[in-house]
Amino acid sequence: MSVSVGIVQFSPDKGKLEVNLDRIADHLVQCASEGIQLAVFPETSTTGYFLEGGVVELALSAESLVQKLQNRVEGRIKAPLEFVVGFYEVLGGNIYNSAAFCRFNGSRIQLIKAYQKFFLPTYGVFDEDRFVSKGTDLCVLDSSVGRTSLMICEDVWHSVFPTLNAVAGATAMIIPSASPARGFRSEHIENHERYQRLVRAISEEHGVFTFLAQLVGHEGGKGFIGGSMICDPLGRVLVEAPVGVEAIIAADIDLELVPIARAQTPLISDLQSSWHNLLKIANQID
């Protein structure tokens, strides 16, 4: 079975929620018209990333996000479409860095699940932990590309987190990200190269598709890298976006590759069979 997946490498206007929602809706219409069945937007697409205390005014509930997008796409999209949008979320009196997985059935947008970022970076230019709360749960759901997990940016820098999602049943991993360029060496950007290695390694180790959606643009003198990509379960890059500019990339993915990759390198089955012993070991660590 083949599914068309698109990554919208997006440069939001910082702090302009309604303007960004207009543009996100336009991209959803474009993706649907081009036959894309799953569209993925980057982390904090609705507002930009470096808001600090501004998140209080610009965060919204997942339900409000869905309604605002519904108002903008109504009558403009005919085909079914799944999509993921990164946003600052108000939930239970807290603010989170979140990603909403939504499904458009031809007439209405349905919120399937909102995921709250688990690992909040607090090093270098990052200070997320001061302004948003930490998530506490995994997010694995059913989608057009199979059992699908959501992780956000820093989450995948901790190898245990993709591993937990794979053990929880994920065969596809969606990764919205906003990563400022850092570590310049000649023509190379170190964190861009790190993402290339990370995403391919996750795909290859766990036999999963990975969909990385990177923010672009500049905020406060910091430029976001771009370089969004789609990798197959054999660790091959199917398509990659350019660095630093907006783009929409897409690939038709063959879901039958998952069992093929896992049969060739059965690491995930080995991990699952040893899981209870690993938990015993983990419980022995202070």
Can you give the pLDDT at residue 124? Answer: 79
258 Cβ contact list (under 8 Å, min separation 6):
146, 171, 207, 208, 209, 233
Phi then psi for residue 284, to 5 deg, are -85, -10
**pLDDT class of 185 with cuts at 50, 70, 90:** low
Provide the β-strand partners of residue 40.
7, 84
- Number of domains within the chain: 1
Report the candidate in 186, 156, 178, 175 with the shortest Cα–Cα distance to residue 223: 178
The pLDDT of residue 184 is above 70 = no
Can you give the pLDDT at residue 147? Answer: 99
The pLDDT of residue 218 is above 90 = yes
Residue 53's domain comprises: 2-283
Report the candidate in 267, 259, 213 with the shortest Cα–Cα distance to residue 232: 259
Query: Among the listed ranges 118-127, 134-143, 250-259, which one has the minimum average pLDDT value?
Result: 118-127
**pTM of the full predicted structure?**
0.96
**pLDDT class of 183 with cuts at 50, 70, 90:** low
Can you give the pLDDT at residue 125? Answer: 82
For the chain, state the CA radius of gyration: 18
Domain with 279 in it: what CATH number?
3.60.110.10
